[in-house]
Copies of this chain bind each other. A is one copy, B any other.
Amino acid sequence: MKELEKKLSDKQINPTAMRLLALDYLTKRSAAVSLTEMELEMDRSDRVTLYRTIKTFEEHGLVHRIEDGTGITKFALCQQGCDPGHHHDLHVHFFCNSCKETHCLPKTIIPEVVLPEAYQAQERELIVKGICAACAV
């Protein structure tokens, strides 16, 4: 898996066994994932180690955090080049009310909105809830 190693080193992340496993797992997932899901589906892993692994990934611009309104934080690989310390994912996230999965919609950009006088926007997050493509009949 030289590819995975390269992805890590490109982001200045030391490619340990655990991190390669986590990256491999994330790469194969289509939906965003919570820490608890990762813990259950990847055995041979401690929750805290996963927590710190994901945190490292996030800080180095490899994954982004998604607050989908369920109260449970999810994570997904960044699409384009996000930088350490600064993400610029401005895509919509979709939460399926049927299968409860959260998907990145990288091609769906969050539109700008006009705010009341004197409000200054710095970031924005749009969650759309409904029925995902896989669940639609």
A residues lining the B interface (CB < 8 Å): 67, 69, 71, 73, 92, 94, 97, 105, 107-108, 110-111, 113-133, 136
Q: Which residues of B contact A130 (CB under 8 A)?
A: 119-123
A119/B94 contact (C-beta < 8 A), A113-B111, A113-B128, A129-B124 known: yes
Partner of A117, one of B69, B120, B121, B133: B133
**A101–B69 CA distance with the chains assembled, in angstroms:** 18
Q: Is the interface of A mostly helix, strand, loop or mixed?
A: strand
Q: Which residues of B contact A123 (CB under 8 A)?
A: 128-130
Asked whether A116 lies within 8 Å of B122 as measured between CB atoms, the reply is no
**A125–B136 CA distance with the chains assembled, in angstroms:** 21
Count identical subunits in the complex: 2
**A126–B110 CA distance with the chains assembled, in angstroms:** 9
Q: Which residues of B contact A129 (CB under 8 A)?
A: 121-125
Partner of A124, one of B67, B116, B128: B128
Closest beta carbon of chain B to A10's beta carbon, Å? 28
